[in-house]
Structure 1
Amino acid sequence: MKRALVFYLYSANNAGDMAICLGTIAYLKSKGFRITMVSRFDALAPEYAASRSFVQSYYPDVVVEPGVFRLNRGEGKVSLAMQYASGALKCALPGDDKRIVDLVNNCDVVFFNGGNLLRCASLTDRARLQALFYPIKIAGKRGKPCICLPQSTATIGTSWIRYLGKELSVFDKIYIREAASFEKLRALYPDVSFVLCTDMAFFMDDLCARESAQNSDGRVAIVVRGTGIGDIGTLAKARREEMQGAVVDLVKSNLDRRYLITVQTQKDRELSAAYYRELTALGVNVELVEEHDPFKLLKIYRGCDLTLSMRLHACILSVRAGTPVIGFFDPSWGLKNQGVMEDYRMGCVFDSFQLEDEFLKVASNRDRLSGSSYTRILEHRAELDEFFKD
């Protein structure tokens, strides 16, 4: 059996990140790989134990290894600076990490997991990328095939274009998960062979498929967000309030529907509760639920008529479940949101005043959108399959 080494397994606190990992596992298992995943988190981080436990509860044969570097953004600026410095020192040392070398030597193919990591707007981003690509470079030096699974990009500062291009050169193949990022990267790096694909979460197994049928009782899932790109920092208060006002106005115009505010990322709890309190005070038929298991989220979204989401992976899980989507995004969150929504012909809004019109357009085309999404997923899967024919 072929052996796959995947960098990285993400946190179980964010269902979107975990959905990418589950899609990667399902896809590689379908290709006959025995899988080892290296966590983004070191052995002492609670995220490491939690994500390992979650993955192995569904896939006990998947091996999960601790991460290469320590990175905990919640410990303050001084601690974070020390963590970055420690990582930079490790990357600069002449000898490679023996544990990572052993893992690389014992695999057939190295995969860099999908996400939104091909961006570099600052020195901090450069340090992050240097750490992320450290084990990929180790694999490249040892002649292992290195495959970048579908990624997106965002801001790439002029000062960092050359640096990112050099880092990308280690990969034998680079998949991009939506057209907007694909076109931007291809223009910046014309000598790099990018392949347009889709988000790995679309390839998840559907373990709850037999337990849930598509519902049509008019319920709408609402998923909100107030953080910056990469969940670092927050949106400006005025923008958060503007987006919340637009959602509340939309609900007030559609009081015949039921609403389900869904928390699938820990950082959305407080904001989701604020939406819930405001809608409850208005007498809206609304519930609040928190769920981080992507398999259970598929079941939740399948039970809804529509999903209105500020989280890309709530959109993706809904599309995977056959439920049409209206994505409501801030431009600072990167190219990925618009790119994926356009690819699957779903609703996409950045301007709050356009939200209700887009909602009504998607609602009126619900049946057509539901029927076309799975066909598109299969088309993208065929694109990824091309690598394994070589």
Structure 2
Amino acid sequence: MPLPLAFGNTGVGKKLSSIREEDEDVDADDASLAILRSESRATPARSTPRSLDDAARHPRHDRAGASFASIVGKANESISALPAKSSVEDALVKSDKRNDLASNGNVLPAKPSIDNYDTIISDLKELRQQQKDVVQRMSSSQEDISTIRRDLKEIQSLFPNKSSSDDMSKSLQMVVDSLRLLTEEVKLSNAEYRESLSSLKSSSENERKALQAQISNERLVSASQRNSFEEKIEMLTKDKAQFDVGREKLDRDLKQLERSEALLEQRKNAAKGEIETAHNMMTVIRGAEARLNEELDRIHHLSEYVRQKDGEAQNKLDQAQELFSKIRDIDSSFKDAENHRMSLARERVIMLKERARERENRRTSKDIALVHRPTRLIADFSL
């Protein structure tokens, strides 16, 4: 598990990784400082006395003196600009107190505050920055010393005559002595700061180990908490699924109840309409009953009238039967008369046919006679 997941904060892991990178940078600075110190020990200081009068008469004397003054000023400024030893000691005291508390407690807090981590990391960054500043100022002091040596060589080249350089050699000797004292002070301060920085580095390593142990403890705690949280999440998920099922069932029941209520309301409205229709129908039926009673009364009167008329019709029917029997007798007499008339007509027709036949016979005989008569005349005429 990475550091940000162990703490639940992405900033802590980034800060610890930046502290490791700064430690690597400090180790590189320590190596460069050791190289500069070895060069300073390998190059002995040289002092060649020259005459002050010759220096005053030479056109480059003023520039050399100015360079001496500027170099000495830079060295003093670099020494004065070094961080106070009390600040480094205060940081070491804070680190020792934290280490003592961590070692005496024997039990790391279960849930450390992120603000406490931020304070520790800011203190470590501040100490790293002070360490870098000290190393940088030490290297600048070494560069200033090498510059002074080059300027001394240049001054020695400016004064080749030894007879006129007594006063100049004294002044240069004083400058060289002061520079030696300055170099010794710088070396002593460098040694002290080196010791303080080494103790600071060891304390920071202890703090880092304590932090790593605390981080591992936090990993275990967070892993157990995560397992418990996962179990709770699974239980809550199951409860949520059951709750969702129950809610869906309740929603279905509510929808069915709403549909039932709507259907009941429709049935109520339909029943109200049917009741109104039935009321209207009862009114119509009462009116129809009244009319029916009137019709029944009228039908009763009509039935009485029909019975009366039926009696009259029966009487008339009897009379008609009597008349029918009389008409039947008359009809039979008419039929007899008709038959007699028909027989007479047939006889008459027969008689007429006989008469016509006789007439036809007569005419035939006359025609034959007429035909034979001209033939006789023609025969007579021919004779």
Q: Bigger radius of gyration, 1 or 2?
A: 2
Greater share of residues in helix: 2
Greater share of residues in strand: 1
TM superposition score normalised by structure 2? 0.17
TM superposition score normalised by structure 1? 0.17
